[in-house]
Amino acid sequence: MKISNLADKRLIKTGAITGLLMVVVAAVTLEATALIQYLYSQKQLKQEASLRAESQLEATKNKILDVTGQAESAVRNNIWIAQWCLDVPDSLYRVTQRIVEDNPAVVGSAIAIVPDYYKGVHLLAPYTFRRLGSYEPVTTSLADESYNYPEQEWFKKALENEKGYWSEPYVDEGGGELLMTTFSVPIKDRSGHIAAVLTADLSLDWLTDLVGNVKVYPNAYSMMISRTGQFLVCPVETLIMHKTIQEVTNSMEDTSMMNSLSRSMLKGESGNQTIRYKGATSYVYFSPMERTGWSMSIVIPENEIYGNIRRAGTLVLFLQLLGLLMLVLIIRAVIKNALKFREVDEKKKRMEGELHIASAIQMAMIPKISADTPTHDDTELSASITPAKEVGGDFYDYYFRDQKLFFCIGDVSGKGVPAALVMAVSRSLFRTVSSHESSPCRILSAMNDFMSDTNENNMFVTLFCGVLDIPSGKLRYCNAGHNPPLVLTKDIKPLPVLPNLPLGVMQGMPFQEQETVLHYDDALFLYTDGLTEAENQEHELFGEKRMEAVLHKRRGVQEHLEAMQKAVADFVGVAPKSDDLTMMFIHYMNKDQKSTTERKLVLHNDIQQISRLAEFVENLAEERNLDKTLAMSLNLALEEAVTNVIMYAYPEGEGGDVEIDASIDDRTAEFVISDSGKPFDPTAAPEADISLNVEDRPVGGLGIFLVRKIMDNVEYCREDGKNKLSMTKNLL
């Protein structure tokens, strides 16, 4: 038990490990798939982000080029006019005026003459500008000592750059605090000397909108820095025109990444870079603006790109983990359940197994009757026991001792294990007590005393106990409240039983014994009430009539048993077994008691022949195993009847015969005495009066009286010229 238990547990453990392993494998596969999908998606998303950023950079660049282009064109297209007008300085005002009027993008334009180009005129710089919110341009002069334009960057750089120069953006303090930039080109006179610088001022107020509105992702932002790193557009407005990218970078804790970024941007390179700032990763896409040399960057926080898929991924991961957790819990629960179930199952199996063993033990107590079991020659036995449950309270037993068959059939009140235990006790008691006691009533008394003494659970036993003397067929029996067995002779009759109480009811109860004689070919059928009270589905009982119907046809004991079992099974059908069912057949077949003994004796009418009659009866008695008293009685009756014939049937001196036909079976001894003498009916003689005293008592007439007294039936008839006297003695 324990080994298999361990093996089972190991099996379950293995099963559990396999189950968990499967979960782990499933989890790993699932997660790997998710990861691959995630990485692939990430790559896709990054590509998508790059594409978006780059296209936005390109678009913005084009728009800026468009505007700056307009400003450059406005300047270039008027270079030749300005050359022309150098000769007539006053006309220069016309030029600037025209540039501003014709180009809406240009908010101001100046022609700044190289100092002292005109003799007597140190500084000359006609300037036209448009006031904020006003369309009408105003023309004035920049030739102001305080401003000193020759020192201004736009002027100086223009002299150096023949193709023109875009100034660093600046805040125009005079013109409404606007962010401005100026494109300036040198103008040469006909002799080839640089005479002036022509400028166009460009308002950059649109730049903030243009760049600020570039929204690749909701939380992405764009920046624009100038050639020198000055912030032109930036989400942090305080930085604009106040700080350079270098300054901002230097203030950071980890400057390496930002440094390389700012360097690249200031160099006018395009590309992208990943930066980590305060634990957040961002991707920066940057590209230089042609002409102005600015650099624009789009900053996309990593979360913006992957946020959705991260969220989705996290959700998926969470759901998967949840699912796996549930799976683990389910497997755990299943295993736990399985273990529990197995435990219960094991318990049940063990109990079933034990019951099975109990059943086997119980059945082993019952003597097995089979073809190869040695039985007594003079008896055939068959018996069966069918418990309603694994074990039952019915039992039977039999065994041979001293030419006697000891047998019993019993039914313990109740069913199942308690009944089985009492049954085991009863059966042991029967064996013990009957081993030294041949009287059924004493056997039952002893059993009753013992059982009553120990009967704390008030269980009682109905028991029929019989002791069959094999040679004589004499059956002594005692019935303690059991169903009376049936005697199967030519007909079926219940064995007369006295109403004794069942065993175990009360100590010291008297049990009355009874006696009968079984003859050759008689059978006893013993049964428990499980037979007559077998119920079918309609709750009808099998009953005694059905039982007797089966018994009516005489068969061998085994066939009888099988026929009865089949009849009950057919009757009960699918209805559950209601009670233990036990049956036992005993077939008495003593060869000595076989058939009828028939003998004939013929005597002459000579009184001396009587001794032959004595011998004749003696032989018969010996042959039929008749006891001495009976033999003597028969002898006496016969002698009286025969003497009568010898003395009186034939006339004096005439010879004659007297025939005696004896026919003895187990039940009766029948004698017919016949003679051919004169008709005489001895039965007609008056009955002797045995109450008379000595004086009155006749000395004769006792012969026929004794015949009548001894025999149970005496009949006379005259037949075929013969006197026939039939005498029958019941032997039972």
| Residues within the interface to another protein (CB under 8 A) | 607-608, 610-611, 614, 628-629, 632-633, 635-636, 639-640, 643, 688, 690-691, 693-695, 697, 699-700, 702-703, 705-706, 709-710
Nearer to another protein, 16 or 706 (CB): 706
The CB-of-410 to another protein minimum distance in angstroms stands at 39
| 505/630 with CB nearer another protein | 630
Q: Smallest gap, in angstroms, from Cβ of residue 683 to another protein?
A: 16
How many CB atoms are located within 10 Å of the residue 400 CB? 16
Handedness of CA 427, 433, 436, 441 (dihedral sign): negative
How many angstroms separate the CA atoms of 193 and 552, rounded?
Answer: 158
CB of 640 to another protein, least distance (A): 6
Q: Which is nearer to another protein, 526 or 707 (CB)?
A: 707
Q: Nearest Cα to 476, choosing from 404, 557, 575, 373?
A: 404
Nearer to another protein, 686 or 700 (CB): 700
CB of residue 658 to another protein, shortest distance in Å: 13
Residues 585, 583: Cα–Cα separation, whole Å: 7
Nearest C-alpha neighbor of 626 from the set 671, 666, 673: 666
Distance CA 221, CA 218 (A): 8
Q: Which is nearer to another protein, 655 or 700 (CB)?
A: 700
Least Å from the CB of residue 582 to another protein: 44
**Is 315 or 647 the residue whose CB approaches another protein more closely?**
647
Written as one string, the DSSP assignment of 61-116 is HHHHHHHHHHHHHHHHTTHHHHHHHTTSGGGHHHHHHHHHHH-TTEEEEEEEEPTT
Q: Strands 581-588, 492-494: parallel, antiparallel or unpaired by DSSP? A: unpaired
In whole angstroms, the minimum distance from the beta carbon of 436 to another protein comes to 30
Which of 245, 711 has the CB closer to another protein?
Answer: 711
In order of 143, 157, 199, the CA distances from 77 in angstroms are 24, 20, 12
Strand partners, 130: 137
Of residues 370 and 608, the one with the C-beta less far from another protein: 608
- In whole angstroms, what is the distance from residue 367 CA to residue 199 CA? 135
Phi, psi dihedrals of residue 381, rounded to the nearest 5°: -130, 145
Q: Closer CB to another protein, residue 108 or residue 703?
A: 703
**Shortest CB 673 distance to another protein, Å:** 15
Q: Which helix (H) or strand (E) holds 355?
A: helix 302-365
Least distance in Å: CB of 622 to another protein?
A: 16
Least distance (Å) from another protein to the CB of residue 695? 7
- The type of residue at 520 is Y
**Min dist. Cβ of residue 710 to another protein (A):** 8
Picking from 381, 594, 588, the residue whose alpha carbon sits closest to that of residue 489 is: 588
- Do the beta carbons of residue 504 and residue 455 sit within 8 Å? yes
DSSP 252: S
Say how many residues make up the chain. Answer: 732
3-state secondary structure 260-276: HHHHHHHHCCCEEEEEE
Evaluate whether 287 touches 58 at the Cβ level (below 8 Å). yes
Structure token digits, residue 511: 């049990």
Q: Which is nearer to another protein, 334 or 630 (CB)?
A: 630
State in angstroms the smallest separation of the CB of 642 from another protein: 9
- 3-class secondary structure, 210: helix
Question: Which residue number, 220 or 603, has a Cβ lying nearer to another protein?
Answer: 603
- Supply 309's token pair: 């898929």
